[in-house]
Structure 1
Amino acid sequence: MTTNPALDHALRQLKLPAFAHHYARIAEEAATANLSYDRYLQALAEQELTQRDIARQRRCLHQAGFPVVKEFADFDWSAIPSLNRARVLALAQGSYLERAETVLFVGNPGLGKTHLATALGVTAARQGHRVRFATAAGLTAELIQAQNEQRLTKVLAQFLKYRLLIVDELGFLPLSQTGAHLLFQFCSTIHERVSLIVTTNLRFAEWTQLFGSESLTAALLDRLTARAHILEFIGQSYRLRQRRHQMDSHPDPAADDFGAPPQAPTN
């Protein structure tokens, strides 16, 4: 398989790395199959498009900032029988992204809300969409810093460049008055322009305690729930269940039922 250094250079200058990498091999295959010149060029173009799509997916996944990549295949659906699996997987098709709709996962900790939110984000990234993952605490800190540095307008505008934003663990940590107002401003900015996934351990009736204002909470919920897919997670914590399973499977022989080591026998 021979290559042409001048052609290699020209293709790289044109930013066609897949052309440069595959043209010699595909030329040999085309000659063997007696393909026309346009079919040969088509094969090269398809290879370039495939490589660009793969690179874009990797870039989107990397830029999303997922703490851990989660997949639907790894989720234990049987642990939460009340959860509508078909509805979640329908979201993975991505139509909610086209309509800039909101997805709200509500339920106690340890039920897989973050797992499924991440899986939806990973799926969107692999579809070529720009995605951003952040905890509510991390996002609030970012907005407060931007306000202190007089960059808030710019930072809020940057969020509009994404197709999907994921805010995890809303309600796990308290919000300051400033943080609450900035989160409201964030949601108002992206409303009906960027899809949003929120995971929270708080029922909607409890949000006033978090945001500290009935009017602010009502306005926020009005925006978030207007065009939303709301899924409630009911069940026993994954982590607690796994911990109990581990303890049942591998009991500590040095501990009694109360977790204390047995007393040494006395003579």
Structure 2
Amino acid sequence: MNHHPYEILQDKCRTLRLAETAKELPNLLREAEAKNWTYHELVYEILSYEMRCREQKNNERLMKWAEFPEILTFDTYDLKEQTALGEKQLNVLKELNWIEEFFTLILMGPTGAGKTHLSVALGIHAVERGYKVSFVSMNQLMYILKTKEYINKSKIRYKRIIASDLIIIDDVMYMTYETQEANLFFQFIYDLYDKAAFILTSNKGPNEWGKFLGDPTLTTAILDRLLHRSEIITFDNETDSIRMKYRKVLF
């Protein structure tokens, strides 16, 4: 044989599509010899290594798919900074059963109160558990819905959004929408009813959404679907927002 035994084994790993194991195999075999692993232990370590690598790659793929605006996790989320949630309620949300039940979480409150941080932290937490998540602002979503038929980038993004288990829509009803846009949003919600869970952040309560969509009947139809299984989390309208409290200053 012209090949080193390691190389033969690596080739076999690649043939079986164990690409990460193929690269790490020499190190694993050396460690097995140094630590006197049994055959059982060696096989276990090889398979565990491949699984960890695949989980990491899948996580990276899902994070790219989600398009979070920034990485905001629970590690930097301080429950003491707000009164919308207690530790018990947050732990219930972290269990993610509401995704399987196609719930809608509406995070309502003023700018800078921590709504987006909580939504992204929940989204990343879901990604880490294998869920497909999409994050999109309301304005971005409207653009995608209007252009998905003739702009390829919008078409691809739309397909990813509708294939997601959890869809996070940021800044819902931030501005007034035209009739065509309101209809597109209704169709979007209608098509995904009982197919995906939602997190919506807004500085307006659902009872105010009608004046932004301009059609009370359409608004009622949208809310009927979104609020059928829902939890509204209200952030207090405090004088100083969390964002302002920790803002960077020059002087």
TM-score range, shorter chain: 0.7 to 0.9
- Report the 3-state secondary structure (helix = DSSP H, G, I; strand = E; otherwise coil) of the residue aligned with 2:106: strand
AA in 1 matched with 2:147: Q
AA in 2 matched with 1:8: Q
Residue 167 of structure 2 is matched in structure 1 by 165
Structure 1 CA distance for aligned equivalents of residues 5 and 50 of structure 2 = 18
TM-score by length of 2: 0.87
Structure 2 CA distance for aligned equivalents of residues 186 and 152 of structure 1 = 14
Residue 64 of structure 2 is matched in structure 1 by 62
Residue 260 of structure 1 is matched in structure 2 by none
Determine if the alignment matches structure 1 residue 229 to structure 2 residue 231. yes
Q: 1:191 aligns with which of 186, 193, 210?
A: 193
AA in 2 matched with 1:238: I
Structure 2 CA distance for aligned equivalents of residues 183 and 18 of structure 1 = 43
Query: What stretches of structure 1 of length at least 5 have no aligned partner?
Result: 251-267
Shift of 1:140: 0.6
The worse-fitting range, judged by mean Cα deviation, of 13-22 and 81-90 is 81-90
Number of aligned residue pairs:
246
Residue 92 of structure 1 is matched in structure 2 by 94
AA in 2 matched with 1:65: E
Residue 103 of structure 2 is matched in structure 1 by 101
> Is the CA contact 2:113–2:242 (under 8 Å) kept in the aligned structure 1?
yes
The worse-fitting range, judged by mean Cα deviation, of 209-218 and 150-159 is 150-159
> Is the CA contact 1:80–1:235 (under 8 Å) kept in the aligned structure 2?
no
Percent identity reads 26
- Would the alpha carbon gap of residues 177 and 84 (structure 1) be closer, same or farther in structure 2, given more than 3 Å must change? farther
Structure 2 CA distance for aligned equivalents of residues 231 and 195 of structure 1 = 15
Residue 7 of structure 2 is matched in structure 1 by 5
- Would the alpha carbon gap of residues 158 and 122 (structure 1) be closer, same or farther in structure 2, given more than 3 Å must change? closer
Shift of 1:82: 4.3
Structure 1 CA distance for aligned equivalents of residues 122 and 109 of structure 2 = 17
Determine if the alignment matches structure 1 residue 177 to structure 2 residue 179. yes
Determine if the alignment matches structure 1 residue 238 to structure 2 residue 242. yes
- Report the 3-state secondary structure (helix = DSSP H, G, I; strand = E; otherwise coil) of the residue aligned with 1:226: coil
Structure 1 CA distance for aligned equivalents of residues 23 and 151 of structure 2 = 46
What do the CA deviations read for 1:77-132 (whole angstroms, capped 9, x no partner)? 22322433431332122111222211111112211101100110111111121111
Structure 1 CA distance for aligned equivalents of residues 31 and 154 of structure 2 = 56
Displaced runs of 4 or more, over 4 A? 147-158
The alignment's C-alpha RMSD in Å is 2.7
Structure 1 CA distance for aligned equivalents of residues 156 and 67 of structure 2 = 20
> Is the CA contact 1:79–1:235 (under 8 Å) kept in the aligned structure 2?
no
AA in 1 matched with 2:68: F
Query: What stretches of structure 2 of length at least 5 have no aligned partner?
Result: none
Shift of 1:36: 3.5
Structure 2 CA distance for aligned equivalents of residues 226 and 37 of structure 1 = 55
What do the CA deviations read for 1:5-63 (whole angstroms, capped 9, x no partner)? 23323322332123212322222333344444343222201110011111111221122
- Would the alpha carbon gap of residues 11 and 185 (structure 1) be closer, same or farther in structure 2, given more than 3 Å must change? same
TM-score by length of 1: 0.82
Structure 1 CA distance for aligned equivalents of residues 22 and 153 of structure 2 = 43
